[in-house]
Amino acid sequence: MIKSISCFIILLLLFACNNPSEMKSTHVNIEFFYPLDTIPKIYLYRDIAKGLEEEFHRVYHVKDSEGHHIIVERYASDGRILEALNYNVDSLDIQDHMVVNIKQEKTKAILYKNKIFPTGPKDQTWFASKFQGLNDSTLFLREIKRQLVTKHQIRAIMEEDVECIVFDDFLRQTLINPFTQKENTIQGHQNVYFGKGIGLVEWQSSNKKMHFRLEQILSQEEWLKIISR
């Protein structure tokens, strides 16, 4: 009888360790990040500045030998994967960055800086990643310096009022020719919104030429029907 009870307790402990609802994060703004769920959810964003442009983010939780992670895969409107970001659940730092080149080959980017989710107004994070460009003779260095602007801003997302945390991103992308050492840099700012209990809900460039907003959260089955049309 005692042996049976012990086995039952062990099973309960194992279930708790693998149950996303029981996982904790030390990050003070975790409530504004993506929910922990092993079942993939597809976030459909639409560029309301242009009207027709869409982007899909496939979000799900995994656990491996290095801990708990949230994976965010970014897809073009036709279903082509563009990149994937691996976030550590505890710190919300980026652990891995995968990009897809023009040949549709998946390559692992080099991470120089991996901080992306500030804890407060005085905490500026810095993300820097280098990866292959449009061909073998070019490299991209992408940088995001992010500052918290405000908490508790209410945004209308999916026809509901959502409490959001707002970041200002300084973006810089440098095209590098490794043979000639020539560089060409583009930079700018955008506002990024994360909704409480949802994750990324909106982003908008400072010149307002790009403005993506979350339109739907789909199951994987619903998403596959959309991109297979």
CA triple 120-124-126, angle to 5 deg: 135
The pLDDT, as a whole number, for residue 12 is: 35
What is the token pair recorded at 109? 């980017």
Average pLDDT of the chain, as a whole number: 88
**Tell me, what's the pLDDT at 13?**
36
Nearest to 203 by CA among 160, 143, 146, 130: 146
What pLDDT, in 10s, does the model give residues 65-113?
888 999 999 999 999 999 999 999 999 999 999 999 877 889 999 999 9
HSE of 88, CA atoms in CB hemisphere, 13 A: 14
Q: How confident is the model at residue 177 (pLDDT cuts 50, 70, 90)?
A: confident
Closest CA to 113 of 142, 139, 73, 84: 142
* Residue found under tokens 């991470």: 111
Partners of 175 in the beta sheet?
140, 184
> What's the confidence (pLDDT) of residue 134?
66
Dihedral sign, CA of 78, 42, 120, 95? negative
The model's pTM: 0.87
